Amino acid sequence: MFNLEGKVCVITGGAGSLGMAAARLLHEQGARLALIDLDLPALETVAQAAFGAVPAEVLCLAADVSDETQVRAAIARTVEHFGGIDVLFSNAGNFGTVAPIDDYPTEVFDSVLAVHVRGAFLMSKYAVPHMAKGSSIVFTSSVAATRGDPGVYAYITAKHALTGLMRVLSKDLAPRGIRVNAIAPGPIGNDFQQRVEDGLGAEIGRDGTEFFNEMIPMGRHGTAQEIAASVLYLASAQSGFTTGHLLMADGGMSV
């Protein structure tokens, strides 16, 4: 149903739980993968654990997605190895911190926007020339793109901006038959989310995990595998008439 046989899928943030869950699911559907992360040894270790042995059709690459030279090189290496790109899953992200505006570190704000927004822009800029009609771009946004919470200046701003970038890109690429969408996960049970909840908990003076669970109508965090299923849908031909869409995968948190 979600056949990706032979398709080349580029995934940034490949060493994270969502990146690797998507990698495994897309690979099960026949995709060939270029996995990109900052730390190549860590990426290779995670890939080894996920696949048992890194398959020949999985290419691991190191790149900082906010660095134009490194992005250009990673895309060139992918195209050299596989011949083209069919799916871009721009998933790399960082959280920053939680703090009042007068204490919020400017360098942290800049870093978060660089990874989420500049990173998605650069990955798209250099991948698109190698993508044909029927290709798909998926951004990892967040339920944070629909909210405003005290002190979460960098992350929430970046996710709002990323949704805007997705919508502009979807209009630009629609005549070329390339779809562009974003997923908006709610809280996921992983290390990234735990760091978020620890920071928020310290700011609001209560357990951050309980705080989020109370806001989610389904009463629990999602799993990386559940979010990866949404990525698969948007990457495949099953979403062939869907573009410019922010797919909420948040347990009803945004309702």
Cα dihedral sign for 82, 132, 74, 231?
negative
Both tokens assigned to 147: 């909210």
Q: Which helix (H) or strand (E) holds 140?
A: strand 136-140
- Residue 24 and residue 50 in contact, taking contact as beta carbons nearer than 8 Å: yes
Name every residue whose Cβ is closer than 8 Å to that of residue 108 and which is 6 or more positions away in sequence. 96, 97, 154
d(CA 120, CA 212): 27
126 is catalytic: no
Active-site residue among 104, 126, 153, 155? 155
Burial class (CB in 10 A: 0-12, 13-18, 19+), 254: middle
Name every residue whose Cβ is closer than 8 Å to that of residue 78 and which is 6 or more positions away in sequence. 8, 10, 34, 59, 61, 85
Q: Which amino acid is at 189?
A: G
The 3-state DSSP class for residue 31 equals coil
Residues involved in catalysis: 155
